[in-house]
Structure 1
């Protein structure tokens, strides 16, 4: 059964990467919640998507320059919440029985990986006891190699779209390079559709994730194909459509 992942919580339903959004996404019953982590110069791990504050916070400038005192008063747009730390988010998501976590490790505004961020994130996951139900994720394979070095027991996911595949020497070369590095390969839906035969012949269905699907027809299409994981800004819709799929009986189980 396809696992449904709430993208940045559920960004088309509630403010992205907000504690409110994460709490509601948990209540929806998603299989996993995806969110993003940056590292500031003062050492805070902050959950925010962009490398700059401008789009999602009531402030401007690079995330890495945000001091703790300023962060504590910097509100997210469309909410009274401040930008959460990774610890704030894990406190909401860590309770036993909660969803899987897809923790995307971001780069700074110059596209440079933050020093030691993989180690810091892995330590925080371990501190909250969720490292056994998390994937560390990135587009950057050097970041994922750091994740493997510092936390080899934590699963990994790599993301790719058409532009990123071109920069890596083509999709076939990229898929070959990441095969032993990650458990899940997350492919943008346009690239997945365009290169389905290549991707399907290279990566097992259960290791494939398609992102980010928000329209009913697209979600149905990939659910019907039995894709392993599906990321959506509308996980409520994806869950409803998955629940409406015809039940497939287990041929190994006796009928009543």
Structure 2
């Protein structure tokens, strides 16, 4: 059965990467919740997608310069919440019967990995006792290699879209390079559709994740193909459609 992943909580239903969104996504019964982590210059691990504040926070400028004091007084757009720390999020999601966690390790505003971020995140996962139900995820294979070095027991997911595949010698070369690096290969839906014949003969369906699907027709299309994992901003819709496929 296809596993349904709530993207940034469930960003088409509630503010993305917010504690409110994560709480509601858990109540939906998703199989996994995906969220993003950056590292600030002051050493905080913050759960937010962009390397800048402008789109999702009532503030501007590089995220990495946000101090703990400034963070306490800023608010996510459309909420009364501040940018959550990784610890804040794990405190919400750490219930023993909770979903799997897809923790995307982001790059800085220059597109470079943050120093030691994989180790720092892994330590937090272990502190909250959720390392056994987490996937550490990234586009960047050097980040995932670092994850394997520091916490080889924590599962990994690698993401790719057409642009990223082209930068790495094409999709076939990319898939070959990551075969032993990650348990799940997450492929953008447009690339998945365009290269389906290559993909289905290279990666077992249970290891494949398609992202990010929000329309009924697209969701049904990939559910019908028995894809292992499906990421959506509308996990409520994906869960409802999955019920019609499996019954």
Calculate the TM-score normalised by the size of structure 2: 0.99
Structure 2 Cα separation of the partners of residues 134 and 207 of structure 1: 15
Structure 2 Cα separation of the partners of residues 203 and 74 of structure 1: 43
User: Alignment partner of 1:72: what SS?
Assistant: helix
Task: Verify: 1:109 aligned to 2:104, yes or no.
Answer: no
Give the structure with higher Rg (CA).
Answer: 1
Task: Verify: 1:39 aligned to 2:39, yes or no.
Answer: yes
Structure 2 Cα separation of the partners of residues 130 and 244 of structure 1: 31
Question: What is aligned with 2:171?
Answer: 171
Structure 2 Cα separation of the partners of residues 155 and 108 of structure 1: 23
C-alpha displacement of 1:244? 1.2
Question: What is aligned with 1:26?
Answer: 26
User: Alignment partner of 1:213: what SS?
Assistant: coil
**Equivalent residue pairs, number:** 247
> Deviation string for 1:194-239 (max 9, x for gaps)?
0000011100000000000000000000000000000000000000
User: Alignment partner of 1:209: what SS?
Assistant: strand
> What is the RMSD of the two structures over their aligned residues, measured on CA atoms?
0.5
Task: Verify: 1:241 aligned to 2:237, yes or no.
Answer: no
Structure 1 stretches of at least 4 aligned residues deviating more than 3 Å after TM superposition: none
Structure 2 Cα separation of the partners of residues 227 and 2 of structure 1: 6
User: Alignment partner of 1:175: what SS?
Assistant: helix
Question: What is aligned with 1:219?
Answer: 219
Task: Verify: 1:126 aligned to 2:146, yes or no.
Answer: no
Task: Verify: 1:210 aligned to 2:221, yes or no.
Answer: no
> Deviation string for 1:150-198 (max 9, x for gaps)?
1100000000000000001100000000000000000000000000000
> Deviation string for 1:64-119 (max 9, x for gaps)?
11111001111000101000000000000001000000000000000010000000
Structure 1: 5+ residue stretches without partners: 248-256
Structure 2 Cα separation of the partners of residues 94 and 119 of structure 1: 19
Structure 2 Cα separation of the partners of residues 201 and 73 of structure 1: 51
Task: Verify: 1:141 aligned to 2:141, yes or no.
Answer: yes
Structure 1 Cα separation of the partners of residues 124 and 202 of structure 2: 34
Question: What is aligned with 1:7?
Answer: 7
Question: What is aligned with 2:157?
Answer: 157
User: Alignment partner of 2:245: what SS?
Assistant: coil
Structure 2: 5+ residue stretches without partners: none
Question: What is aligned with 2:100?
Answer: 100
User: Alignment partner of 1:87: what SS?
Assistant: helix
